[in-house]
A and B are shown apart, each in its own frame.
Chain A
């Protein structure tokens, strides 16, 4: 069965530190990849997405993610985090198994200390 793994459940960083959140998926076919962010008390919002082409995608608020097909990974990065980046981050994968299905990872809670 398809699955998405996010390695870190909780991450604590100081402002200006660099961020990398891991995401791996298990599916051998074509995938579309997403990172969503959920700020405290809010709904999930799309950060960035990968469909095809350049495996390094840039999203909003200075985030980027790199698709490495050989590693089945789609890690999220930001060179310098801010206090306002404190949120829950979800990796998601959409696969086509006779219909489009999206699988979400368990989420990573990021806390940025001011």
Chain B
């Protein structure tokens, strides 16, 4: 029943590793997002995809690469993890036009 689901919920790993976070939405939405929320709760948009095409790519290190195999999925792959990557990553989706976004539960990434 979950509208926007992310896996894993927690991810603890060492510096230098490569990891992926998956996101799926069953709302039939065309647009999906990845956000990074730091320890001060500031929410920063990273990427936005519309119908599998990248439409927003904010200033994000190229170690972060989104992949959208279909419009219901938007995965985030991170290479060579760094300490500063520790944060909660939220996936979100939006329907047509100006509708509100629906957020996943977040993935808490901790880099040791």
Are A43 and B42 interface neighbours, CB within 8 A?
no
Is there a chain B Cβ closer than 8 Å to A19's Cβ? no
Is there a chain B Cβ closer than 8 Å to A96's Cβ? yes
Complex CA gap A32/B99 in Å reads 9
**B21-46 CB contacts (< 8 Å) to partner A:** 31, 41-43, 45
What's the tally of chain A residues with a CB closer than 8 Å to chain B? 23
What's the tally of chain B residues with a CB closer than 8 Å to chain A? 20
How many A-B pairs have beta carbons closer than 8 Å: the answer is 45
The interface bits of chain B over 58-95 (1 if a CB of A lies within 8 angstroms of the residue's CB, else 0) are 00000000000000000000000000000000101010
Query: Which chain A residues border B50 with CB–CB below 8 Å?
Result: 99
Contacts A88-B41, A90-B43, A107-B43 given; does A42 touch B105 at CB 8 Å = yes
Contacts A38-B41, A107-B43 given; does A43 touch B105 at CB 8 Å = yes
Query: Which chain A residues border B90 with CB–CB below 8 Å?
Result: 43-44
Are A49 and B100 interface neighbours, CB within 8 A?
yes
Complex CA gap A43/B50 in Å reads 22
Complex CA gap A89/B39 in Å reads 15
Query: Which chain A residues border B104 with CB–CB below 8 Å?
Result: 43
Contacts A101-B56, A106-B42, A107-B43 given; does A51 touch B103 at CB 8 Å = no
Interface of A is mostly: strand
The interface bits of chain A over 85-109 (1 if a CB of B lies within 8 angstroms of the residue's CB, else 0) are 0001010001010011110101101
Query: Which chain A residues border B17 with CB–CB below 8 Å?
Result: none
B interface vs A, CB < 8 Å? 31, 41-43, 45, 50, 55-56, 90, 92, 94, 97-98, 100-106
> Can you list 10 A-B pairs, Cβ within 8 angstroms, ordered by A?
A32-B98, A36-B100, A38-B41, A42-B105, A44-B101, A44-B103, A90-B43, A99-B50, A100-B98, A109-B41
**A-B complex: 9 closest residue pairs judged by Cβ atoms:** A43-B103, A32-B98, A44-B103, A46-B100, A94-B98, A104-B43, A43-B105, A107-B41, A88-B41
A interface vs B, CB < 8 Å? 32, 34, 36, 38, 42-46, 49, 51, 88, 90, 94, 96, 99-102, 104, 106-107, 109
